[in-house]
C-alpha cells in the first residue's frame, strides 16, 4: 500500500495515524507541494483535484482522507476506528462531517493556506476573521470533549484523528512570527482549552504517533528527523 503525501499535510496525517493505529504497513510517495508535483499529469491521473492524500493499494486508487479511512476500516477492521455499535458509527461520521463541512474548510482557506504560503500580510483581515470563527468552533469542541477522553465512545476513533491534525496545524500557524500582529488569543492553547489540550496530549501519546509526526516540521524546528 502506498500513500501519496507531502509532509505537514493535516489530511495526510489522518491516514498515517489510521495506518499506525491499525498496524497496517505502508510506503510513502512524496509529492512535491507545487504545481509541478500535485498538478502534474501523472498525479492528476490519480486524483483529478490534485490533492493529497491518495492511497494506492495494488491497482486500486482512492483519494479523500475520510474515504481512505473508511476503506482501511473495511479492509482492516481491528482495532475499529468507526465504533463498535451502530450508534457509535453514526456519531463518528457525524463528527467527521461536521468538522470537514463546517470547520476545517474555513481553517484551510482563511488561515492555513495564506499563512503557509507566506501571504499572511496580504490577507490579514481574512486571517483575523478566520481566527474569530475558529475561536467559536474551538469553544464548541472544548465543551464537547469536557469530561471525556475521546470525541465518541471510550477509545480513539476516526473522529479524533480527523480533528487532531488540522488543529495541530492551526496552532502551528497561530505560532508563526507573521502572526504576532494578529490578536488571535489562541496561545497558550491550554489556557482557554484545557480539555482539548489534554485530549491532544492523549493523541500524542498513542503508540506509533511519533513516526507520523511531520518530518518537515521536525526539520524546521531543528529536532532530529524521524523515520519519515
Ligand atoms: N478533502 C480532502 C482535502 C485534501 C487537501 O486539501 N489536501 C491538501 C494538502 S493539506 C492539498 O493537497 N492541497 C493542494 C492544493 O490545494 O492545491 C481530503 O480530506 O483528503
Residue ID of nearest Cα to ligand 1 atom 14: 51
Residue ID of nearest Cα to ligand 1 atom 5: 51
State the CB neighbour count (10 A cutoff) for residue 156: 21
Domains and CATH numbers, the chain: 2-75 (3.40.30.10), 86-209 (1.20.1050.10)
Determine contact, residues 31/52, Cβ cutoff 8 Å: yes
Q: ∠ CA(67), CA(200), CA(142), 5° rounding?
A: 90
Pocket test for ligand 1, best of 3, 48, 50, 52 (most atoms within 8 A of CB): 52
Please give the distance, rounded to the nearest whole angstrom, from the Cα atom of residue 49 to the centre of ligand 1. Answer: 8
Please give the distance, rounded to the nearest whole angstrom, from the Cα atom of residue 14 to the centre of ligand 1. Answer: 12
Please give the distance, rounded to the nearest whole angstrom, from the Cα atom of residue 122 to the centre of ligand 1. Answer: 22
Query: What pLDDT does residue 227 have?
Result: 44
> Residue 6 CA: which ligand 1 atom is closest?
9
pLDDT tens by residue, 15-39? 999 999 999 999 999 999 888 999 9
Determine contact, residues 1/26, Cβ cutoff 8 Å: yes
Residue ID of nearest Cα to ligand 1 atom 15: 51
Q: What are the distances in angstroms from CA 110 to CA 15, 131, 170?
A: 24, 8, 11
pLDDT tens by residue, 99-158? 999 999 999 999 999 998 889 999 999 999 999 999 999 999 999 999 999 999 999 999
Half-sphere exposure of 107 (CA within 13 A, CB side): 25
Amino acid at each position: 500500500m502506498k500513500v501519496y503525501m507531502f509532509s505537514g499535510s493535516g489530511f495526510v496525517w489522518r491516514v498515517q495515524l489510521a495506518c499506525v493505529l491499525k498496524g497496517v504497513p505502508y510506503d510513502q510517495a512524496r509529492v512535491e507541494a507545487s504545481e509541478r508535483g500535485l498538478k502534474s499529469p501523472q498525479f492528476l491521473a490519480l486524483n483529478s483535484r490534485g490533492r493529497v492524500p491518495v492511497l494506492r493499494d495494488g491497482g486500486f486508487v482512492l483519494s479523500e482522507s475520510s474515504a481512505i479511512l473508511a476503506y482501511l476500516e473495511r479492509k482492516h477492521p481491528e482495532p475499529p476506528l468507526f465504533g463498535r455499535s451502530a450508534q457509535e458509527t453514526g456519531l463518528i461520521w457525524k463528527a467527521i462531517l461536521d468538522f470537514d463541512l463546517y470547520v476545517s474548510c474555513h481553517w484551510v482557506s482563511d488561515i492555513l493556506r495564506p499563512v503557509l504560503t507566506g501571504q499572511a500580510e496580504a490577507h490579514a483581515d481574512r486571517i483575523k476573521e478566520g481566527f474569530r470563527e475558529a475561536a467559536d468552533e474551538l469553544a464548541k469542541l472544548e465543551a464537547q470533549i469536557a469530561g471525556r477522553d475521546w470525541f465518541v465512545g471510550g477509545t480513539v476513533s476516526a473522529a479524533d484523528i480527523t480533528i487532531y491534525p488540522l488543529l495541530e496545524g492551526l496552532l502551528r500557524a497561530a505560532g508563526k512570527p507573521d502572526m504576532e500582529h494578529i490578536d488571535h488569543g489562541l496561545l497558550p492553547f491550554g489556557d482557554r482549552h484545557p480539555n482539548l489540550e489534554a485530549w491532544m496530549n492523549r493523541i500524542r501519546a498513542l503508540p506509533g504517533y511519533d513516526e507520523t509526526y511531520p518530518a518537515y516540521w521536525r526539520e524546521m524546528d531543528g529536532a532530529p528527523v524521524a523515520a519519515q
